[in-house]
Amino acid sequence: MDALKYIAQDSLKKELPQFSIGDTVRVDVKIREGDRERIQAFEGTVIAKKCSGIAETFTVRRVSYGVGVERVFPIHSPNVQDVKVIRRGRVRRSKLYYLRDRVGKAAKVKEQLR
């Protein structure tokens, strides 16, 4: 078990910005098409963060052409190139699953003013 912890600690060295639930983020993801690689951006609202350590994941939701799209990204995956915080959100919940049932302006998260 100590060997697993050692391997996990070694791969936790990736530097990512601090973001929380309700923030709008742009995630740059490596996409492999045949023998070529490209980077694709996925921008949306963080609605959940789960686990901790090496298994930590976060869920990003956006509405594309009227259809809600959610993607779950492992934070320490080599395919996640970069995470940029576009705007900070002000929420009072740890999971924003209720946004799935909302449409239009009701699905927006208020911006946190500093």
pLDDT in tens, 65-93: 999 999 999 998 889 999 999 999 999 99
Label residues 28-41 b or e (16+ Cβ within 10 Å = b). ebeeeeeeeeeeee
Residue 32 token pair: 């492999």
Among the residue ranges 9-23, 48-62, 92-106, the one predicted with the least confidence is 9-23
| Predicted local confidence at residue 76, as pLDDT | 87
pTM for this predicted structure: 0.86
C-alpha span between 4 and 23 (Å, rounded):
32
Element (H, E) at 87: strand 80-87
User: What domains, with CATH codes, occur in the chain?
Assistant: 2-103 (2.30.30.790)
Over 70: is that where the pLDDT of 11 sits? no
Position 28 confidence tier, pLDDT thresholds 50, 70, 90: very high
Q: Quick: pLDDT tens for 37-56.
A: 999 999 999 999 998 878 89
Instruction: For residues 22-45, give the mean pLDDT.
Output: 96
